[in-house]
Chains A and B, each alone.
Chain A
Amino acid sequence: MATATKNKLVQWGPAEVKSALLEKYPPKVGRKRAKQIMINEALQNETPELTANVRTIPGIITMRGCTYAGCKGVIMGPTRDIVNLVHGPIGCSFYAWLTRRNQTDAGPTGENYMNYCFSTDMQEQDIIFGGEKKLAQAIQEAYDLFHPKSIAVFATCPVGLIGDDIHTVSKNMKEKFGDCNVYAFSCEGYKGVSQSAGHHIANNQVFRHLVGQNDEVKPGKYKINLLGEYNIGGDGFEIDRIFKKCGITCISTFSGNSTYDQFASSHTADLNAVMCHRSINYVADMMETKYGIPWVKVNFIGAKATAKSLRKIAEYFGEKELIDTVEKVIAEEMPGVEAALAEITPRTENKTVMMFVGGSRAHHYKELFDELKMKTISAGYEFGHEDDYEGRQVLPNIKLDADSRNIEELEVEPDETRFKPRKSDKEMKALDKAGYKFKQYDGLAADMDKGTLIIDDLNQYEAEKLVELMKPDLFCAGIKEKYSIQKLGVPMKQLHSYDSGGPYAGFLGAVNFYQEIDRLVNSKVWGYMKAPWQKNPQLSGSFAWE
């Protein structure tokens, strides 16, 4: 691969970049990838323009993981008092062991199994003769050792193939114990085309087995759930701090720093605030249908976004006390943010960034880069769907394919006793009239500049090519991409695990992020790439002292 050149966007129009990315592919691959690369028109399309949520191409080095990773790693990983038992060979459990930085505060009970890694470590004989007995025994042993309130079972690839009935095993063990909720996730790695399928499978089971298990009314005012916040790098802690300061009660977070009881009580909240649209929008929809809880899209990444989201929550409840407190909190927090920006922005202004992460995350972080006056010249999702790019209005036009059809859709109906609308018709109409938007998400494309490149499921080859052609000042992706990008002399920020940094959410997190980006794009190290004798080769061979 050639050295990154000094060519900037001015020399390379988006159409040229797109064709350069596709040049080397076999024709069929090129045609497929062409549909996943969109030159943004910054328009809201009614029908999907960009293909997403389709299979990766065998042999093309993808950034994606699997369904199991989305289910066990992303959604269930951050729950601390549930024993997460992986039924399968050892690897799947090993790789998901503490590697997503799921921070937690074990709280007064101290119950926390996150630092443990549980597996049935299936062996050849289990594959041949079936692993159900071993699974039942493993559940029993976990119960005897820890007496947890809940045990969750995860299926890996071979479990689905040999047909172990993990759901029946779990149900039987639950009945046997009586005081431990046991349930299972059919999240075999090969299901679906990315982690996204795993989020869906996880959330369905959380909804089925956990949500609504505890009707006890929790103390506090302005009760909300925060959906799609996973507390990477302590983001959830900072958001909790702000909620507390505002007098907002967060009944449950799905699933950062979460507990079994949080999920069990979540149906008692009055509003669902959705952070990661991709991983969890269907839980918000299901809770609305079953319990009458409306939902709004929020974003706590970015100081302005945080202020906006807090105001959105306050406006929903519509009480002066809350509105005033939120304004007071924003007024207290923003001076620190503005001071940091005033200092840092001169060093970051007009610098360019590319982001390829998650299925909402790239969009969220664009807000922070906007605050730093940096330009997002290309972005995309690792496992987004068309609606994450182009907004929920394209939902009716998305065609279901075989890979999506095998992910269960729950049939949800209003709960006979517990469904209650949180707002009267009159109140809803008033909110609507004031321009308040429930369950709306406009997607990434609406926020990206015209002529930028939006790329779904970017792969390693295209990443290098993009960096080589457009030479951004910063590239954001995950650990697999980190070092190949840095070898090209471009700083790379992990936005999945934050390179062990964070929090970046909320007000304090925003300041933390500004400082981190300042450090990265202005680090001296990127100037050390060439030795003095490589920079001035014309001197070689002559003797200065002669």
Chain B
Amino acid sequence: MLLRHTPTEITERTALTINPAKTCQPIGAMYAALGIHGCLPHSHGSQGCCAYHRSALTRHYKEPVSASTSSFTEGASVFGGQANMLQAINNIFTVYNPEVIAIHTTCLSETIGDDLPQIKKKAVAEGKVPEGRYLISASTPSYAGSHVTGFSNMVKAMAGMAEPTGKKNGKVNIIPGWVEPADMEEIKRITGMIGVKTILFPDTSGVLNGPLSGEYKMFPDGGTTVAELKSTGDSKGTLALGEWCSADAARELDKQHKVPCSVLDMPFGLMATDRFIDALRTIAGVSIPDVIVNERGQLVDMISDMHQYLYGKKVALVGDPDQLIAMTEFLVSMDMKPIHIVTGTPGKKFEKRIKELTKEMGREVNVKAKGDMFLLHQWIKNEPVDLIIGNTYCKYIARDEDIPYVRWGFPILDRQGHQYFPTVGYKGGLRLLEKILGVLLDRKDRDDSESKFELVL
């Protein structure tokens, strides 16, 4: 037993987090920044944060993740990090020459109170930022929110780059939230098929799922360009996918430049995808092509074909709020029972939303925002489930309790594929369903007696 010390009895903890279901803000900001074309993320703090974030992102995406740091030592921590930041900006533009440096803070620079907007101004005034190059920044202290809010803050900073010209561009802004590069690619495929012109930001496709070709590009071809980000203020409207990841940026564009926005769920599963596509149709005033209707029908078909193996199955979920909300709805829509749900990201709205989505399920769910995986494991010990869906760290619970398990979310450190195969949209729904069925049926094949073991399922 890997987690042999976890007791079944649940006691209240007020100070100790065990096996967190979240990590800190800056890594989210770093991931988001990689979705801008030609952008170098910069971590304003001591170099360890940057090293950890780069390592974690590299392990998940299996791709180079470049990011620089202000390399604080004790001196900078006492006297402030301005000198380090100014030196860094000069070195970065000289050596790497990015189009944008996307700076985020750490708990260190936040605690000593470094004022990033002021440092940026000084850098520009001192001529450290070459013509046509940009600095953007987000405040991401690690002692607030989670990696999800850090992502959201950096995306909001991207929205801050909008420079409306007064002439509409005929496009729809889509903010996909923290999803895989493959998901961003899939969203572009879907909008392309519908014929809606979009600006997708951030967009890590082509950045964090690049080819092996004998060339290394620190700034790969993918990513949302600066020109596109500037143009977001001229768009018809914004679709923000996910309240936690994307809504702040969308509301910022609305507030600053009167670009109207709708906040939708992330398009995982059948109904959330339906709403996303319907919203695109309405905004762009187009009709949905048959090819998409067919894709939808294929997903419905697979659900109906396999419903007998899904019906009533109990599921434990851990992950990020926007993803969990969509996944919960998807599972309930297939008559499955997500009964234990934990996110580490704070926000009471999450618990409320999950309760709404599961109210027809005929039983109470255990749901906690600001929870941890130790609690999730204890819930599972008290009421076992048929399936666990979550990030890599779930493998310890899955093995100990001998429960089928689907890897989904962040981080996934021990498998490949998530950066290449989408789980958004109808096609993504097919893939999610295939994975879920695969582990459930593998389990059935393993557990069935010889007489019950059958060729045809």
A98 CB contacts on chain B under 8 angstroms: 393
Q: Using Cβ atoms and an 8 Å threshold, which residues of chain A touch B13? A: 141
Asked if B23 and A94 sit within 8 Å, CB to CB, the answer is yes
Does B94 contact A91, Cβ atoms closer than 8 Å?
no
**A69 located at the interface, meaning its Cβ lies under 8 Å from any Cβ of chain B in the complex:** yes
Q: How far is the CB of B320 from chain A (nearest CB, A)?
A: 14
Task: Return chain B residues, CB-CB under 8 Å to A478.
Answer: 55
- Asked if A115 meets B66 with Cβ closer than 8 Å, knowing A1-B215, A488-B216, the reply is no
B390 shortest CB reach to chain A, Å: 14
Look across to chain A and name the residue whose beta carbon is closest to the beta carbon of B144. A124
A406, CB-defined interface residue at 8 Å = yes
Residues of B within 8 A of A484 (CB): 64, 66, 216, 218
Q: Would you call B143 and A123 a contact (CB within 8 A)?
A: yes
Contact A68 B48, beta carbon cutoff 8 Å: yes
Fill in one digit per residue for A444-471: 1 if any B CB lies within 8 Å of its CB, else 0.
0000000000000000110010000000
Which of the 9-residue segments A21-29, A331-339, A358-366 touches chain B?
A21-29
Q: Which residues on A sit within 8 Å (CB–CB) of B106?
A: 157
A478–B54 CA distance with the chains assembled, in angstroms: 11
Q: A117 CA to B68 CA in the complex, in Å? A: 27
Establish whether residues A60 and B58, one from each chain, have CB atoms under 8 Å apart when the complex forms.
no
Number of B residues near A (Cβ < 8 Å) is 84
Determine which of B52, B71, B72, B90 lies in contact with A91 in the assembled complex, contact meaning CB atoms within 8 Å. Answer: B52
Residue of A nearest to B76 (CB): A190
Q: Which residue of B lies closest to A69 (CB)?
A: B48
Contact between chains at A406 and B56 (CB < 8 Å): no
In the assembled complex, how far is the CB of residue B93 from the closest CB belonging to chain A, in whole angstroms?
A: 9
A residues less than 8 Å from B94 (CB atoms): 24-26, 29
Distance between B401 CB and nearest chain A CB, rounded to angstroms: 14
Residue numbers in B under 8 Å from A116 (CB-CB): 3, 5, 18-19, 374
A1 to B218, CA, bound (A): 7
The B-contacting residues of A in range 43-80, CB under 8 angstroms, are 55-69
By the criterion CB–CB under 8 Å, are A56 and B111 in contact?
no
Q: Give the residue name and chain of the B residue nearest to A140 (CB).
A: B15
Beyond A95-B23, A479-B59, whether A66 also contacts B48 by CB under 8 A is: yes
Chain B residues with Cβ below 8 Å from A189 are 45-49, 108
Q: How far does the Cβ of A542 sit from chain B's closest Cβ, in whole Å?
A: 24
A112 and B4 form a contact (CB under 8 A) = yes
Q: Is the CB of B91 within 8 A of A59?
A: yes
A158, B51: Cβ atoms closer than 8 Å? no
Q: Is B214 an interface residue (CB 8 A)?
A: yes
Contact (Cβ within 8 A) B51 A115 = no
A25 vs B45: C-alpha distance in the bound complex, in angstroms?
22
Interface bracket on A: 35 or more
- Binary flags per residue of B2-44, CB closer than 8 Å to A gives 1, else 0: 1111010001011111111011111100000000000000100
B215: A residues at CB distance < 8 A:
1, 3, 487-488
A120 adjacent to chain B (CB < 8 Å): yes
Is residue A142 contacting chain B, with contact meaning CB distance below 8 A?
A: yes
A 116-139 to B, binary, CB cutoff 8 A, 1 in contact else 0: 111111111011000000110110
Known: A110-B4, A480-B51, A480-B65. A89 touches B216 (CB 8 A): no
Are B15 and A59 in contact, CB atoms less than 8 angstroms apart? Answer: no
CB of A65, distance to nearest CB on chain B (Å): 4
On chain B, the residues within 8 Å of A111 by CB distance are: 5
Chain B residues whose CB sits within 8 angstroms of the CB of A193 once the complex forms: 73
Answer whether residue B74 sits at the interface, using C-beta atoms and an 8 A cutoff: yes
Residues from chain B with Cβ under 8 Å of A94 in the complex? 20, 22-24
A285 interface residue (CB < 8 Å to B):
no
Contact between B47 and A56, CB atoms less than 8 A apart: yes
Q: Does A503 contact B (CB under 8 A)?
A: no
**What is the minimal beta-carbon distance from B64 to any residue of chain A, in angstroms?**
4
Residues in B189-218 with C-beta less than 8 Å from chain A: 210, 212-218
Cβ of A113 under 8 Å from chain B: yes
CB under 8 Å from chain B, chain A span 414-449: none
Residues 355-396 of chain A, each 1 if its beta carbon lies under 8 Å from chain B, else 0: 000000000000000000000000000000000000000000
Q: Does A533 contact B (CB under 8 A)?
A: no
> In the complex the two chains form, is B16's CB within 8 Å of A142's CB?
yes
Q: Is the pair A190, B72 in contact by a Cβ cutoff of 8 Å?
A: yes
- Does B70 reach chain A (CB closer than 8 Å)? yes
Contact A126 B95 (CB under 8 A): no
- When chains A and B are docked, how far (Å) is the Cα of A62 from the Cα of B71? 9
Question: A529 CA to B212 CA in the complex, in Å?
Answer: 7
- Contact, CB under 8 Å: A161 / B77: yes
Interface residues of B in 58-89 (CB under 8 A from A): 58-59, 62-77, 84-85, 87-89
Q: Is residue A493 within 8 Å, beta carbon to beta carbon, of the partner chain? A: no
Q: Does A509 contact B (CB under 8 A)?
A: no
Tell me whether A144 is interfacial, beta carbon within 8 Å. Answer: yes
B19 touches A25 (CB 8 A): no
Are the C-beta atoms of B45 and A157 separated by less than 8 Å? yes
**Are A90 and B17 in contact (CB-based, < 8 A)?**
yes
Query: Contact between A62 and B18 (Cβ–Cβ < 8 Å)?
Result: no
Q: How far is the CB of B363 from chain A (nearest CB, A)?
A: 29
A124 touches B141 (CB 8 A): yes
Residue of B nearest to A528 (CB): B212
The residue from B3, B17, B51, B72 contacting A118, defined by CB atoms under 8 A apart: B17
Complex CA gap A127/B111 in Å reads: 8
| In the complex, residue of chain A having the shortest beta-carbon distance to the beta carbon of B70 | A58
Distance in angstroms from A465 CB to nearest chain B CB is 11
- B328 interfacial by beta-carbon distance below 8 Å: no
Within 8 Å of chain A (Cβ to Cβ): is B96?
yes
Across-interface contacts of A99 in B (CB, < 8 A): 55-56, 59, 413
**Contacts beyond the supplied A61-B67, A94-B20, A189-B49: 5 A-B pairs with Cβ under 8 Å:** A4-B214, A58-B69, A99-B59, A145-B7, A193-B73
Q: Top 6 nearest A-B pairs by Cβ distance?
A: A66-B48, A91-B24, A59-B88, A59-B91, A89-B142, A137-B15
